[in-house]
Amino acid sequence: MKEEVQAIYEHAGFTGELPIGNKIGILVIDFQLGFTDPNLSPLAGDFSVEIEKTATILTKAREKSVPIFFCTIGYENEKEGGQWIKKAPGLKVLNSNPKLMEIDPRLNRQPNEVVIVKKYASAFAGTPIVSLLTASGIDTLFVTGTTTSGCVRASVVDAIQNGFIPFVIEDAVCDRAIEPHRSNLFDMKAKYAELITTQAAVNYLNQI
């Protein structure tokens, strides 16, 4: 079945490849306690493996002075979530406890690393990320985080639509179920991004 689907996509012309550009930034999507600590939030899952992989990439990025950007979702008023929070009312929990917006401490966020607070799935929806990336001269994003089918995918689609080159770190993104995780990785690879492993990302950062 997988081979048949691949053949259909190739026949349709989804065969392009994106190069790594001139300057990389790391985009970590929603690895906040509201999504990573099941003891605090019903939205959360055990994403320990993916967080460990992301921490490995961040350590190397810091060593090489590669800019790091974190995203987090939070609401002072649930109306900020517009229609999305009506469709996904579980997000309302992010309005009740500011701690759920905190970046998971296992990622050891540094004071000079930007945290972008968003209200919707995409890191690009109503945030200053485009100007921040442009000001840093970044044209390529190494993307980690959660969820693959939700905020990761939305951010990747918007990244390429805004002229950035997205590379999804396939073993450092995660979802609440394996089926949407796999299907969205496949679709992003076909249409919007390249997939690489943590080790490949670290190997590339080592060359900087």
| Catalytic residue IDs | 151
| Type of residue at 37 | D
Q: How far is CA 160 from the centre of its chain?
A: 13
The helix or strand, by DSSP H or E, that contains position 118, with its residue range, turns out to be strand 114-118
Q: What is the CA radius of gyration of the chain?
A: 17
d(CA 27, CA 165) in angstroms, rounded, equals: 12
d(CA 208, CA 199) in angstroms, rounded, equals: 15
Cα angle for residues 40, 45, 171 (degrees, 5° grid): 140
Nearest to 129 by CA among 105, 169, 158: 158
Cα angle for residues 184, 186, 190 (degrees, 5° grid): 115
